[in-house]
Amino acid sequence: MTWPVGGDLPRLIARPGEPGSFWQDRGDRHHAGVDLYAPAGTSVYAIQAGRVLQTYVHTSPGICPYWNSTYAIVLQLPSGLILKYAELAEIITTVDQVVTCGQILGKVGQVLLPSRVLPTDPPYIQLLKDAHHSAMLHLEAYTAVPLEYDERYLGGNYFGLTVPPAELVNPTPILEEILKYEAPHTS
Ligand SMILES: [Zn+2]
């Protein structure tokens, strides 16, 4: 398996409750995945071989003024587990493409436009702005293909739920496993 973000960055996984951690309580919403902060343009890799199921728009200024346009890739692993790689600037794969472990899927995007963040925007957005975390890979994991349009879901968060939807999985153990046994990048 391969760590999903390139570059010589510290490989940090937020601990439960920390900003960017799985199911972080953001007041009116909960975080659906984990955030791996990296500069915009950093390569994003398939952690394992798999097949691209879907690609679509993840955020845009039309949905929310402080968002940039970013994209998502839905990748199915041989185990059946489904990963959503989101907040990408660029997608370098196509639907139905079979990718190898370590293959580049896309590039990290700048999801947050700090100059457009207003004092009335959600506190977790203010924290991201203050920490200069405007670009990241947002990674989610599912046991079934997530809906492209889900009224409970927006921009990597679920609204109105106290526990994760049944099909949503915490990707943290997978990332911890990769840190233990990482294979070198092949592309
Ligand atoms: Zn996120």
Which spans in the chain are helix H? 123-130, 172-180
Residue 1 inside a domain? The answer is no
92 inside domain: yes
- Strand pairing class (168-169; 98-99): unpaired
Q: How far apart are CA 111 and CA 106, in angstroms?
A: 14
Average pLDDT, the chain: 94
CA of 163 to the centre of ligand 1 (A): 17
Residue 36 counted as domain residue: yes
How many whole angstroms from 121 Cα to the centroid of ligand 1? 16
Is residue 184 situated within a structural domain?
Answer: no
| Residue 163 included in any domain | yes
Please state the rounded mean pLDDT for residues 18-45: 97
Q: pLDDT tens digit string along 114-151?
A: 999 999 999 999 999 999 999 999 999 999 999 988 99
Is the pLDDT at 176 greater than 90, yes or no? yes
pLDDT score of 183 more than 60: no
**Predicted confidence band at 186 (pLDDT cuts at 50, 70, 90)?**
low
CA of 118 to the centre of ligand 1 (A): 19
pLDDT at 185: 56
Find the length of the chain. 187
- Residue 166 belongs to a domain: yes
Q: Is the pLDDT of residue 184 over 60?
A: no
pLDDT, average across residues 159-173: 97
Confidence of residue 43 (pLDDT cuts 50, 70, 90): very high
Provide the domain limits for residue 67.
29-171
Residue 55's pLDDT is what?
A: 96
Residue 152 in any domain: the answer is: yes
Question: For residue 156, how far is its CA from the centre of ligand 1 (angstroms)?
Answer: 5
Q: What is the pLDDT of residue 181?
A: 83
Domain CATH code at residue 87: 2.70.70.10
- Which residues of 60-103 form beta strands (DSSP E)? 70-76, 82-91, 98-99
Distance 77 CA to ligand 1 centre (A): 21
Q: Residue 37 Cα, ligand 1 centroid: separation in angstroms?
A: 9
Number of domains in the chain: 1
Whether residue 119 lies inside any domain: the answer is yes
Q: What pTM, to 2 d.p., does this model score?
A: 0.94
pLDDT tens per residue across span 93-110: 999 999 999 999 999 999
